[in-house]
Amino acid sequence: MSICIVNIAPGDLLSIESQLERRSWAFVDGVLSKGALDALRAEAFVDFRAGAFAPARIGKGIEKQRIQELRSDCVRWLDRSGATQAQLAYWQLMDQLRERLRVFFRVHLERAELHFAVYPKGSFYAPHVDQFRAQGDRIFSVITYLNPDWKPGDGGELRIHHLDSSFEDLSPLHGRLVCFRSDEILHEVLPALEQRVSVTGWIRRDAFIL
C-alpha cells in the first residue's frame, strides 16, 4: 500500500519556531497524514508484540540503569537504514524541523535519533529534564503521539512544568507533535490508563553516539 506523504506544513514550522522562542516549548496538531500515523502505530505494535522493545533506561554508560520508580515505558530505537515508508516520512519530518531550527536559532544541529515508546497501562515517567547532566548533546526533544482513540480520562498527559510551579497538560493525541528545549523544560508523563504510543526523538548537535 502506498502512503500519501505529508510531513509537516510550513505554517507548523513557523508556529513551532515562534512558540519555542517565546516559551521554550511548542506543540502543533495534525502532522503527517492519517495513513502515515496509523502505519507508524501499527509498526510499533508489530515490534512490541515481537518482543523488540526494551524497558526504557535512564542515564548513560555505567550510570545507565532501570529505575522503575522513575519511568515504566518500553522503547525501540529506530534505524534510518531499515525504515519503512512511514518511518522514512517521519525521518524526513525530523530533517525539516532540524533544518528550520538550525537556521532560526543559529545553532549546530547535526542529526536526530528516534525511538518508538509504548507506555503499557499504568505506566508513567516522573518529572525530568532530557539532557544528560554531563553532556549537552540533546538540544531539542520532539515527540509525536500515535493514539487515534485517546479520550479525556485516559490519562497519559505530558505535563510541562514552568519555573513558577504552574504547569500545562497535553493529551497524547494522534498527530500531535510536541517540541521543547531538552536542557530547559522539566516535564513528566502522568500515568496512562490506556496503552500509549509515541515516536520520540532528539535533535542533537553531535555526529556520533558516544
Gyration radius from the chain CA atoms: 16
Count residues contacting ligand OGA (CB under 6 A)? 9
Q: Which of 187, 201, 203, 204 binds ligand OGA (CB under 6 A)?
A: 187
CB-based contacts of 40, cutoff 8 Å, min separation 6: 32, 86, 87, 90, 116, 146, 199
Q: Is 72 in the site for ligand OGA (CB under 6 A)?
A: no
CB-based contacts of 73, cutoff 8 Å, min separation 6: 56, 117, 118, 119, 120, 123, 125, 189
Residues 98-137, mask of contacts with ligand OGA (x by CB under 6 A): -------------------x-------x----x-------
Q: Which three cell numbers stand for residue 168?
A: 500545562
Q: Which of 200, 201, 203, 204 binds ligand OGA (CB under 6 A)?
A: 200
Ramachandran sector of residue 42 (left: φ over 0; alpha: ψ -120 to 50; beta: rest): alpha
121-150 binders of Mn ion (CB under 5 A): 130
Residues 133-172, mask of contacts with ligand OGA (x by CB under 6 A): ----------x--------------x--------------
- Specify the residue, 12 or 130, whose C-beta has the smaller distance to Mn ion: 130
**118 touches which of Mn ion, ligand OGA, none (CB within 5 to 8 A by kind)?**
none
Select the residue whose beta carbon is closest to ligand OGA and give its number.
Answer: 158
Phi, psi of 58 (to 5 degrees): -120, 140
**131 touches which of Mn ion, ligand OGA, none (CB within 5 to 8 A by kind)?**
none
Residues belonging to the chain = 210
CB 96 to ligand OGA: min, Å: 21
Q: Which of 37, 114, 189, 197 binds ligand OGA (CB under 6 A)?
A: 189
Q: Is 198 in the site for ligand OGA (CB under 6 A)?
A: yes
Q: Give burial (CB, 10 Å; 0-12/13-18/19+) of 143.
A: buried
Binding site for ligand OGA (CB under 6 A): 117, 125, 130, 143, 158, 187, 189, 198, 200
Binding site for Mn ion (CB under 5 A): 130
